[in-house]
Structure 1
Amino acid sequence: MNQKIKQETKDIELIIGKILRVGVFVAAAVILAGLAMFLIEGTGGYPANAHPSRPAAIIQGAIALKPYAVLMVGLFLLILTPVLRVVVSIYAFFKEQDWLYTWITTAVLVILIGAMVIGYFG
């Protein structure tokens, strides 16, 4: 039984590593695409001082291939990567039945979500 838990822990650690690597590479690719679009077009795709800040407006701008919005999506993906790591860590601690770290990591996730909500409405 103990060997099974050790193997599951190792598997989860590998998954966490993959999430971090893939997240950073995808975010970097999106940011580089937005930067290339900006350099090619010579503009962010919005009038001066009229950049979107709400997620829906950023997504609409990215769908319309506006360079500034594409850059913002890349930055959002970069921020989301460690948040996903926290979520997977909660699962890992839960599987290990390490209740203290499960609760601590859950508290970290709640704080992260709270900070995002405050940033959105603030």
Structure 2
Amino acid sequence: MNAYAAQMNASLTFLYLHELAHHTLGHLESGNRTLSISREQEAAADRWAIRIMVESDLAAPAAALPMMRFLVLLGGETLEDERRSTHPLGMRRMRDSMRYAAELHRRRGDHELADETLDAMEAAEEFMP
């Protein structure tokens, strides 16, 4: 699979699993949600999606970084932006997701892939505003 195809596959896999996580984790059944609870649920859905990607070898989470960079741009740039949003700050989402992916890779004994994931995250951060 070429690099572009791998990135598209990982991006779509992450998005699909993220939305599936909301169903699986019961987020859609929540009644009155505060912005804080909504952000917590979004972060939980991100972690669930990353865990499934790593454990099932569906796609490498780091390959989804181009899509995550897009989310960073949509997610605001300041903590004030985050306080008004139902989603975590975009940069926080990307960092937390990649750090979690690296942690899961290490738990599986794949230290090289963990390091590659963190290196890819740092490279992606260089292109952020």
TM-score after normalising by structure 1? 0.35
- Higher relative contact order (CA closer than 8 Å, sequence separation 6+): 1
Higher helix share: 1
